[in-house]
Amino acid sequence: MSALKTERLLNLVICLLSTRQFLAKEQIRAAVPQYADCASDEAFDRMFERDKEEVREMGIPLETGSNSAWFEDEVGYRVDRAAYALPEVAFEPDELAVLSLASRVWQQATLAGPASRALLKLKATGVEPDDSAIAGVEPRVGTSEPAFAGLYAAVRDRRPVTFPYRAGRTGDVVDRRLEPWGIVSWHGRWYVVGHDRDRKATRVFRLSRVEGPVHAVGRPGEVVVPAGVDIRREVAVLAWDQPRGEATLYVRPGAGVCLRRRATRESPGKAPGDWDEVVVGFSDPESLAAEIAGYGPDVVAATPDTVRDAVVRRLTAVLTAAS
Partner 1 sequence: MSNPGAATERLSRLLAMVPYLVTRQGIPLAEAAREFGITEEELVKDLELLFVCGTPGHMPDDLIDAEWDDGHVYLRNADTIARPLRLGIDEALALIVGLRALSEVPGVHDRDALERTMAKLEAAAGDAALTSAQVSVEVEGEAEVLAAARLALADSRRLHLTYFVPTRDETTERDVDPMRVVLMDGRWYLEGWCHRAEAVRLFRLDRVEAVKVLEVDAEVPPEATERDLDLGLFVPSPGDQQVVLELDPAAHWIADYYPIDSVEDLPDGRLLVALRAADTRWLRTLVLRQAGAARVLEPDDLRRAVHERAGAALAAYA
To the nearest whole angstrom, how small is the minimum distance from the Cβ of residue 69 to partner 1? 26
- Quick one: which segment of 69-77, 132-140, 209-217, 240-248 binds partner 1 (CB under 8 A)? 132-140
Output 8 or 176, the one with its CB closest to partner 1. Answer: 8
Q: How far is the CB of 72 from partner 1 (least distance, A)?
A: 25
The CB-of-159 to partner 1 minimum distance in angstroms stands at: 12
The b/e string for 67-91 (b: 16+ C-beta within 10 A; e otherwise) is eeeeeeeeebbbbeeeeeeeeeeee
Nearer to partner 1, 53 or 72 (CB): 53
| Number of CB atoms found within 10 A of residue 193's CB | 27
- How far apart are alpha carbons 148 and 154 in whole angstroms? 10
Distance (Å, whole) CA 26 – CA 271: 90
| DSSP structural state of residue 207 | G
* Nearest CB to partner 1, comparing residues 72 and 144: 144
Task: Give the shortest CB-65-to-partner 1 separation in angstroms.
Answer: 19
85-114 residues near partner 1, rule: CB under 8 A: 85-87, 89, 91-92, 94-95, 97-99, 101-108, 111-112, 114
Nearest distance from C-beta of residue 92 to partner 1, angstroms:
7
CA atoms within 13 A on the CB side of 215: 9
Q: CB neighbours (10 Å) of residue 5?
A: 14
Contacts (CB under 8 A) with partner 1, residues 246-305:
250, 254-258, 261, 290-291, 293-298, 300
The H-or-E segment that residue 191 falls in is strand 189-196
Burial of 254 (0-12, 13-18, 19+ CB in 10 A): exposed
We find the least distance from the C-beta atom of residue 70 to partner 1, in angstroms, to be 26
Q: Cα–Cα distance between 146 and 154 in angstroms, integer?
A: 14
Size of the site for partner 1 (CB under 8 A): 118
Toward partner 1, which CB reaches closer, 217 or 225? 225
Contact 282, 251 (CB under 8 A): no
Nearer to partner 1 by C-beta: 72 or 116? 116
Residues 143-202 that bind partner 1 (CB under 8 A): 144, 152, 155-156, 181-189
Residues 26-45 that bind partner 1 (CB under 8 A): 30-33
- φ, ψ (nearest 5 deg) of residue 240: -75, 125
Site for partner 1 in 51-90 (CB under 8 A): 54-55, 57-60, 83-87, 89
Which residue in the set 20, 121, 169, 200 belongs to the binding site for partner 1 (CB under 8 A)? 121
Nearer to partner 1, 27 or 70 (CB): 27
Buried b (16+ CB within 10 A) or exposed e, 26-56: eebbebbebbeeeeeeeebeebbeebbeebe
Q: DSSP letter for 164, please.
A: E
Stretch that binds partner 1, among 5-13, 66-74, 197-205, 214-222 (CB under 8 A): 5-13
Position 5 contacts partner 1 (CB under 8 A): yes
